[in-house]
Chain A
Amino acid sequence: MTLTGAITTAVGGAIIGLSATMFLAIHGRTAGISGILTGALTPARGPSRAVDVAFVLGLTLVGLVARFAAPQALGDASPSALVAIAAGLLVGFGTRLGSGCTSGHGVCGISRFSLRSVAATVTFMATGGVTVYLVRHMLGGGR
């Protein structure tokens, strides 16, 4: 990793931290994407649902712009359709069961010094690491 690359990466992280701070300051809520997505999908939840849908839309629109402005940042989506579906089901279910994801626990929770979030983050990083190890180095399914 070059110095420029490291700085860009850290700046990107700082922007994420900034957006989480903005969301807390403006809407008074944790910028946990799994929770926001759940809110967007949950009917009859009052004004907060519009906030959730708008946030998801903001993410989506940036993706659309990135497709034309910075396609190299998106990378090649290599999992097969079946793997993508399995991954999505596990992520959707797991983030609800575990009350959060990389942004909710990893960024917001840890920023609040929440032991729950530290435990959750360590756990999903561990199982994520084990999964990648199994797929790439044991089952020969390297990408």
Chain B
Amino acid sequence: MSALEARRSVALSLACGAVFGLGLVVSGMSNPAKVLAFLDVAGAWDPSLALVMAGAIGVHAPLLRVVLRRGAPLAGPAFVVPALRAIDGRLLAGAAVFGVGWGLGGYCPGPGIVSAGAGGATPVLFVVAMGVGVLVHRHLFERPRAPEATGGIAAEGDG
């Protein structure tokens, strides 16, 4: 990849992140109260999160098949689609732990980062702690791999 291609790739990724953030803001998912109201099944329930996911999947599911029919991505070396793996204890335990944190703060990674960008001590604390949590897991469970072995990308994860 030439320097120009690398710069273009980075600029395009910035744009993707910005569009994602826009979606979060427009959908109200950057507001933890709305997210918690969805999880609060026994209280004043707000179905918004379900609508957001339906909208997102409704667009992404059909389009991703069209995209994957191409030979290669526009700015990357190859498609990195997560490998098929069985549903295991790590997946379920991790999801369970993530859900608890989500229910406590009302933030998952994307909205947390957007809210931190807006300032405010709480989301910034959340994001810093989230980074620490990521690094703790890496330190405890993830052996360092040579970049070539995974193509420099966490191909073993689903995302």
A residues adjacent to B (C-beta < 8 A): 1, 5-6, 8-35, 37-39, 41-42, 44-52, 54-64, 66-67, 70-71, 73-79, 81, 83-117, 119-121, 123-133, 135-137, 143
Interface residue SS majority, chain B: helix
A130 contacts across to B, CB distance below 8 A = 99, 103
B residues adjacent to A (C-beta < 8 A): 1, 6, 9-34, 36, 39-43, 46-48, 51-61, 63-64, 67-68, 70, 72-82, 85-87, 90-110, 112-123, 125-138, 141-142, 147, 152-154, 156-159
Q: Do A47 and B152 contact each other (CB < 8 Å), given the known contacts A26-B16, A119-B87? A: yes
- Bound form: Cα–Cα A131–B40 in Å: 9
Q: A78 contacts B55, CB within 8 Å?
A: no
A52 contacts across to B, CB distance below 8 A = 13
Interface residue SS majority, chain A: helix
Q: Do A61 and B21 contact each other (CB < 8 Å), given the known contacts A26-B73, A29-B80, A74-B115? A: yes
